[in-house]
């Protein structure tokens, strides 16, 4: 007895190939405006591969500190117990460490130009703690000007909702054509404890000599 349906196997294999090759076209969706941009699952602690895979893992140890930006770099004065180091991975200019116990991350980042604009970046910070985006009027209401040695710095302070809250305190400054972000984020309690020192750091911002 000789099989007569060899062709079926080839059809099956061909279908597999076709299915594997699909899905490369430009897709178009019309969707309602988002109330909030997607949460960044990269910040998920204790997540499995699926959770961790939701955001890029920037290499930390072997990334050289970014160079001094054209137009001059910022310097700051550290309060007692605080330390800092250049770099810290990816686009970070510096990483600051507070003596407060608990989850607190403080970073200094500089990008040339407007870096997407103040509103987009503030909404990105709000999104990171699950808050809806602001419009231009909301941005103006949330902005707290801080007089620093380098000039005016816009300070923002947002706390998430829920039983266990996250908090972001961040300063935004345009200096010599570059946009500087000084940002502290983490659990509400530790961030609140570190906030007075953080504001003093923002007030001490100056052009490096």
Partner 1 sequence: MKNRAASALWGAVTSLKLTIGCLAALMVLVVACTLAQVKLGTWGAVEVYMRSWLVWTELPGTRLKLPIFPGGALVGLVLLVNLIAAQGKRLELSWKKSGLWISHAGLVLLVAGEFVSGVFQRETQLAVEEGQTVNYVEAPRELELAVIDTTDPAHDDVFSVPATTLARRGRVALPGTPVVLNVRGYHRNAQLTNRGPQDPPALADAGIGAGVAVRELPPVSRDEEMDTSAALVEPIAGGRSYGTWLVSNALGAPQTFQHEGRTYQLVMRHRREYLPYAVTLKDFSHDVYAGTNIPKNFSSLVRITNPAHAEARDVLIYMNQPLRYEGKAFYQSSFGKNDTLSILQVVENPGWLLPYVSTVLVMLGLGIHFAITLRRSMRRRQALPAEA
Q: How far apart are CA 153 and CA 149, in angstroms?
A: 10
- Checking DSSP bridges between strand 206-207 and strand 166-175, what pairing results, if any? unpaired
Q: Quickly tell me which residue has 């699909």 as its tokens.
A: 22
Of 177, 180, 67, nearest to 113 (Cα)? Answer: 177
Among 16, 60, 140, 152, binds partner 1 (CB under 8 A): 16
Q: How far is the CB of 85 from partner 1 (least distance, A)?
A: 16
Residue 201 tokens, joined? 């750091």
Name residues whose C-beta falls within 8 Å of residue 207's C-beta, 6 or more positions apart in sequence: 72, 73, 74, 75, 150, 175, 176
With contacts defined by CB under 8 A, how many residues of the chain interact with partner 1?
A: 77
Residue 90 or 192 with smaller CB distance to partner 1: 90
Q: How far is the CB of 48 from partner 1 (least distance, A)?
A: 6
How do 144-148 and 151-159 pair as beta strands? antiparallel
Q: Is the dihedral of CA 146, 151, 152, 153 positive or negative?
A: negative
Q: Judged by CB, which is closer to partner 1: 40, or 157? A: 40
Closer Cβ to partner 1, 151 or 162, answer by number: 162
Question: 24 vs 209, which CB is nearer to partner 1?
Answer: 24
**54/44 Cα distance (integer angstroms):** 9
Within 39-68, the residues that bind partner 1 by CB under 8 A are: 39, 41-59, 63-64, 66-68
**What would the two tokens of residue 5 be?**
């349906």
**CA dist list (Å): 9 to 1, 2, 3, 12, 18:** 18, 15, 11, 5, 14
Range 156-195, binding partner 1 (CB under 8 A):
160-166, 178, 187
**Which tokens sit at 55?**
């955001």
**Span of 16-24, 134-142, 149-157, 196-204 interacting with partner 1 by CB under 8 A:** 16-24
Is 154 among the residues that bind partner 1 (CB under 8 A)? Answer: no
Residue 107 in contact with partner 1, rule: CB under 8 A: no
Site for partner 1 in 110-149 (CB under 8 A): 110-117, 120-121, 123-124, 129-130
Binding letters toward partner 1, positions 63-102, x by CB under 8 A? xx-xxxxx-------------------xx-x---------
């Amino acid at each position: 007895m000789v099989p007569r349906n060899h062709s079926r196997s080839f059809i099956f294999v061909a279908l597999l190939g076709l299915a594997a090759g699909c899905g490369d076209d430009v897709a178009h969706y019309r969707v309602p405006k988002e109330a909030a941009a997607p949460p960044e699952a990269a910040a998920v602690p204790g997540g499995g591969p699926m959770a961790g895979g939701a955001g890029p893992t920037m290499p930390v140890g072997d990334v050289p500190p970014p160079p001094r930006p054209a137009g001059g770099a910022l310097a700051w004065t550290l309060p007692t117990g605080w330390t800092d180091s250049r770099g810290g991975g990816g686009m970070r200019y510096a990483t600051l460490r507070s003596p407060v116990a608990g989850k607190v991350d403080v970073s200094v980042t500089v990008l040339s130009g407007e870096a997407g604009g103040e509103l987009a970046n503030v909404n990105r910070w709000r999104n990171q703690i699950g808050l809806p985006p602001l419009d231009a009027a909301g941005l103006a209401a949330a902005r707290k000007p801080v007089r620093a040695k380098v000039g005016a710095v816009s300070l923002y302070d947002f706390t998430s909702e829920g039983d266990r809250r996250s908090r972001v305190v961040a300063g935004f400054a345009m200096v010599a054509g570059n946009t500087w972000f000084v940002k502290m984020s983490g659990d509400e309690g530790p961030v609140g404890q570190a906030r007075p020192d953080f504001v003093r750091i923002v007030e001490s911002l100056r052009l490096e000599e």
